[in-house]
Amino acid sequence: MEADTASPQEESSSDWRSNPSTCPDFVVSFMGYEQDAAERLGAEIGGALRSLGRIIDIANLDGVTVAYDYDDALAQLDRGYETSFALERTNDVATGIAMTPSVLRNDVLKSHIVISGDIADGLLDDDEGRQRGIVHTLAHESAHVETTAAWDRCFPGELLRTSYRSNLDAWRSQVMSACWDEYSACRICGDIGYDPVPGYAQTFLKVLSEIDGKVDNLVAGFEGGNADTLVGPIFGAFGNLMKFACYLQGALADAGRSRDDVPEVTIALSNSWFDRYFDRLAIACAEIFDEFGRWTDKSKFEVISDMVEEIVEERVARIWNHEDGTYSIFIHRGLARA
């Protein structure tokens, strides 16, 4: 079911409201909705995105899908190319409610927003808190549209088309991309709708408190053989910690705040090995953001990739890269713990 083909509209007003909207023509598609509900919600989503398009560049928006069965909507999304990679919601310390995957349309890279219907319905709710929540979600996903388009302009033909020389290169790139994307999105959308810092801080602290136990379990469960079965999940675990740090850091940076404005984070970091990496990560992301959309090479992005590999080597295993793209490891976790 589809509703509301949205087009840019001009409104006579002051400040940002007088800006032309970057919102393109797009269709809001619905799964599991009655026609009347789809039409009403589609109109609200269209209006919200037209407004957000005045402050966030969403010219590369492909469309929006709203579904009560969010997981099925991710699985069924037409991504415009053949892939075995399945889109799946975050479902551990945080539960995913929206995603903006890249898609190809006539060989042009675009971004498609997928939202859980239970969240999107907040636009029609009398509860102001729910309304603010979905507005912030739409702003955050819109910021992903802008971030993805900026990368594609600077490094055309790479997203969805890159093949990696080795698994290590792929894991490094995945962590870098997740960290940068969330930092950028949080910094672009800021506190539109509501202030996300308290929630991001809570999630980061939970991930931080669990990281050592999670890594211990991964190492303990490795019985030898294919090192990928250990090293991949290890990169994923530390990358997850860095990603949730970036959510918080991006939101803080937009508001002109630092971790010192979130005392519980400062206290937790003071007792953690991650303390020395937290600020380095924030600085690395801020330096990339300072050149937003004007990148001529990936050297600043590689700082994030190097950081996750440094953490893996410090906390778990020494890694030796070989010229043929393979690698070997020596696991030292449990033998020497910092």
Residue with tokens 């809001």: 28
User: For 202-255, how does the pLDDT look when each residue is reduced to its tens digit (9 = 90+)?
Assistant: 999 999 999 999 999 999 999 888 999 999 999 999 999 999 999 999 999 999
Would you say residue 269 has pLDDT above 60? yes
Scanning 84-196, the segments in alpha helix (DSSP H) are 117-120, 128-154, 167-189
pLDDT of 74 > 90? The answer is yes
Q: How far is residue 27's CA from residue 20's CA, in Å, rounded to a whole number?
A: 20
Q: Which of 63-72, 85-94, 258-267, 269-278 has the lowest mean pLDDT?
A: 85-94
Query: Whose CA is closest to 85, among 103, 105, 106?
Result: 103
Confidence of residue 334 (pLDDT cuts 50, 70, 90): low
* Residue pair 63/25 in contact by the 8 Å Cβ criterion: no
Q: Find the farthest-apart pair of alpha carbons in the chain and give their distance in angstroms, rounded.
A: 67
- Nearest Cα neighbor of 153 from 56, 295, 2, 258 is 295
What is the rounded CA–CA span in Å between residue 7 and residue 4? 9
Res 137: pLDDT: 96
The pLDDT tens digits of the residues spanning 96-147 come to 899 999 999 999 999 999 999 999 999 998 899 999 999 999 999 999 999 9
Q: Is 13 a residue whose pLDDT tops 50?
A: no
pTM: 0.92
pLDDT in tens, 282-309: 999 999 999 999 999 999 999 999 999 9
The label of the residue with tokens 């937290």 reads: 278
pLDDT number for residue 85 = 78
CA distance 300 to 223: 36
Q: How far apart are CA 226 and CA 93, in angstroms?
A: 28
**In whole numbers, what is the pLDDT of the chain averaged over residues?**
91
Cα distance between residue 181 and residue 124, in whole Å: 29
Instruction: Identify the DSSP state of 292.
Output: T
Task: Check the CA dihedral 121-126-132-135 and report its sign.
Answer: positive
Could you give the angle at the alpha carbon of 50 between the alpha carbons of 47 and 56, nearest 5°?
A: 140
Please give the share of the chain, as a percent, with pLDDT higher than 90.
80
Reply yes or no on whether the pLDDT at 158 is more than 50: yes
